[in-house]
Structure 1
Amino acid sequence: MDAEADRLVGLGATITCVLRQDGLDHYAVGMKDPEGNESDVN
């Protein structure tokens, strides 16, 4: 997931937050594209 988030940042996206919960081994990364559209990578 980190590699995909890094790839999207390279294309102009911005990381807005990292969503994680204690005790879970996965998380999501909130992002915005250059036009302001929001999405999650999970």
Structure 2
Amino acid sequence: MSENIANMIPRLSHNLHKGQMGRIAIVGGSKESVHACIVDR
């Protein structure tokens, strides 16, 4: 499954800063804890 996800992620150019892409994806969690991945803004 991780290979399928890796194929969906676009490659970054070496000329770009991490803030120039304008997107973020967070993949996390576990079977034991549904809320294992929490984002605080």
Q: What TM-score results when the alignment is normalised by the length of structure 2? A: 0.23
Asked which structure has the greater CA Rg, the reply is 2
Q: Which protein has the bigger strand share?
A: 1
Q: What TM-score results when the alignment is normalised by the length of structure 1? A: 0.23
**Larger RCO (CA within 8 A; separation ≥ 6):** 1
